[in-house]
Amino acid sequence: MYYIYVIQHTKTKQIYIGRTNDLGRRLREHNAGQQKATLRKEGKWVFIYCEVYRSKEDAERRERKIKQHGNNIRWLKDRIKNSLL
């Protein structure tokens, strides 16, 4: 299985959209500072939203679609607004 996920930082409230085949490992990497894009001195990253795909290609296509089109990010944020910190 492949996952598109949204995580949010507890201090800055910044969101990050990513893709993985292991959600637990990926969140540990973000919180351990192993990813340059999500390196923060304080606070932690928490899961907000996730989509599941059987195909790696479908997951990659969906991630690109969300990240490349501002309207898709706004639509996603509006859809999950009650889940955001």
Instruction: Encode pLDDT of 26-76 as tens digits.
Output: 999 999 988 888 888 889 999 999 999 999 999 999 999 988 877 888 888
Q: How far apart are CA 2 and CA 75, in angstroms?
A: 22
pLDDT-derived band at 85, boundaries 50, 70, 90: confident
Q: How far apart are CA 62 and CA 53, in angstroms?
A: 10
Is residue 19's pLDDT more than 90?
yes
pLDDT-derived band at 20, boundaries 50, 70, 90: very high
pLDDT-derived band at 6, boundaries 50, 70, 90: very high
Which DSSP category does 35 fall into? S
Which DSSP category does 43 fall into? S
